[in-house]
Structure 1
């Protein structure tokens, strides 16, 4: 696979957080906590962990594809641990990962779905990652139903197919040298998975063929000594949003999959840019959604960013073809860092006002704006 860039000419600095694009945690005005919020690729469903009136955690599924958004609790026999994680599937079921034996690093996986007033559970199996080991779920690609998981170890990372395989059981899809995190799809079918691999003191994004050979190919190699992570990718246009210290400090940049042009680091995405009076003064930013459906037009894709500053959190909108970052107030109850674009250019932001009181706010950039 062609590297995204060879060199960078940008200068400057800043300190940016790693983007948890589809995850968010928050407390509503009624005291309900929600954590690990994750959207399906098409925005039809979402899932998270939520607390009841006694502070116990349970899985919660949001239905967002109909005329009126609503949430359904999926409590099981025992309260969940807050470290559990969930992934919504396109058929409305929710995959949950639970750490059932910390000493062995045993993670158990099940499918949950509502069955009348109760919750039905289908067990999928377990993965042993060793003491203290993680199992990081990767949600399905836009045109796939398969769920993968990364099990990072000291020297290598196992990539597991945990749902959607032909055998009906858990399958080891690939073994990647180094410690891998992240997980972004480079294609709609879910065959090429990009991960951030830490190896020999450097972190570089690589592509893994999880569907066929398990082969690993370079993806980001901005400079030999830089740390280059992939934050977001859009398979339709090939747009990649990256975090790299190639300019001297961590900066947000963008490139195009398979292009020979270098990654660019726009001033509009520079933390603290614009001086003391700028909205970005003292703020950090993280991209969380890219507009799909812009085939062969990566510079036209809308990019949504979460911005956090002294005054709170708000939404930034930007396009590679634009020179400015537009700022929008966050809607009430927004789960910061959660949202998705429609192909027509509407940004949809999930919001919560209390137990099972959920909604979706729409943000349509003005025609005359920078986005």
Structure 2
């Protein structure tokens, strides 16, 4: 599981690295805006070889600082450019020898009172989605991977933010939704059923419950909610489809720093307690890395590599955390944080209690069950 860099560290040299670093769903590629001042261009990183390397993808005109970027699993990079008011055009960039190839896809218009953002890379590695947030409605667009250019795939009632994939096929998407002046609640959106929306998080009626990360292999969910302390957000964890309540470990709460999860270890099938979670820690002294597993009940704080593109990284299935960094001396680097040798490996436990399995002969569809609620059957859409 990967995440994007929200801000960019500048340690390790005088260079100023533009913000935004996104890793493809398969972990093979990444993309960001490189350059300085008005001379910005797209840069693609290759991460799955013996050594990481960067390929510049410049065009005849420099890119704007607000360009939307998303790498696909085949190495092409999606770029969205704001060209006229609310209108965004989308293209795919790819290297063609010494030049940069560009495939035009089409345009999307943002809502009159809102914005257009890219959702995290789809797990299928082929499709890319954008979200237009209006006053009362959120529109989801398939901007890459469709047959005829950008197309609207869903319309969800309310103002949505976030975006977390709940399965490996790119069908089930979790969004954090606010209806009117009510609290923010995470909901699940089924993109194969026209955006049918069902509740996902309902810790208390008044709490703001957001989903930050999800691992489809284990079902681990990382949550931010003010349910334990109204008005004060806490990090918690739960299991997709579980009958157990969300837990809020005290070790994830730091009085003098902000803690933000950015990656979850994949491959831990039915063992959510054993998944490694990487956390970005921001304080007055700078940014560094925390690692935590639900079974360990404590967070380890680790120094980040100089020039870490803060908030970006990916876990390997065997437990290594890989962190991209860029300095004046090493403009494309990838550091590996191994699991400490003194950390005991938990023994496998029985799978967590989940909702009822489908009847024999019934096609299995990945449908989330609201946490801290009994499994619901024949649910009606919530939006």
Post-superposition CA distance 1:85-134 (Å, at most 9, x none): 100111110000111112xx111111011112221111111111144632
Which of residues 284, 294, 317 in structure 2 aligns to 1:343?
317
Aligned partners of 2:167, 2:149: CA distance in 1, in Å? 24
Query: Greater relative contact order (Cα 8 A, min sep 6): structure 1 or 2?
Result: 1
Aligned partners of 2:222, 2:71: CA distance in 1, in Å? 24
Task: Determine the structure 2 residue equivalent to 1:176.
Answer: 156
**Structure 1 contact 141–187 (Cα < 8 Å) conserved:** no
Residue 67 of structure 1: CA displacement?
1.2
Is it true that 1:38 corresponds to 2:19 in the alignment?
no
Residue 58 of structure 1: CA displacement?
1.3
Task: Determine the structure 2 residue equivalent to 1:126.
Answer: 107
Task: Determine the structure 2 residue equivalent to 1:227.
Answer: 208
Which of residues 136, 158, 165 in structure 2 aligns to 1:185?
165
Give ranges in structure 2 of 5+ residues lacking alignment: 346-383
Which of residues 57, 62, 67 in structure 2 aligns to 1:84?
67
Residue 357 of structure 1: CA displacement?
2.1
Give the secondary-structure state (helix, strand or coil) at the position aligned to 1:268. Answer: helix
Which of residues 120, 126, 138 in structure 1 aligns to 2:119?
138
Task: Determine the structure 1 residue equivalent to 2:40.
Answer: 57
1:343-362 matches, within 5 Å, as 343-354=317-328, 357-362=331-336
Which of residues 247, 253, 266 in structure 1 aligns to 2:236?
253
Cα 1:321–1:60 change in 2 (3 A) is same
Task: Determine the structure 2 residue equivalent to 1:268.
Answer: 251
Task: Determine the structure 1 residue equivalent to 2:134.
Answer: 153
Task: Determine the structure 1 residue equivalent to 2:198.
Answer: 217
Is it true that 1:289 corresponds to 2:263 in the alignment?
yes
**Structure 1 contact 23–37 (Cα < 8 Å) conserved:** yes
Give the secondary-structure state (helix, strand or coil) at the position aligned to 1:353. Answer: coil
Task: Determine the structure 1 residue equivalent to 2:357.
Answer: none
**Structure 1 contact 144–189 (Cα < 8 Å) conserved:** no
Give the secondary-structure state (helix, strand or coil) at the position aligned to 1:230. Answer: strand
Residue 262 of structure 1: CA displacement?
0.7
Post-superposition CA distance 1:289-324 (Å, at most 9, x none): 000000100000000000012221111000011111
Pairwise CA RMSD of aligned residues? 1.7
TM-score w.r.t. the length of structure 2 is 0.85
**Structure 1 contact 324–370 (Cα < 8 Å) conserved:** no
Equivalenced residue count is 339
Task: Determine the structure 1 residue equivalent to 2:53.
Answer: 70
Residue 31 of structure 1: CA displacement?
1.7
Residue 271 of structure 1: CA displacement?
2.2
Aligned partners of 2:114, 2:55: CA distance in 1, in Å? 31
Give the secondary-structure state (helix, strand or coil) at the position aligned to 2:83. Answer: strand
Aligned partners of 2:334, 2:259: CA distance in 1, in Å? 22
**Structure 2 contact 71–121 (Cα < 8 Å) conserved:** no
Most deviating of 139-148 and 40-49:
139-148
1:94-105 matches, within 5 Å, as 94-102=77-85, 105=86
Give the secondary-structure state (helix, strand or coil) at the position aligned to 1:357. Answer: coil
Aligned partners of 2:14, 2:44: CA distance in 1, in Å? 19
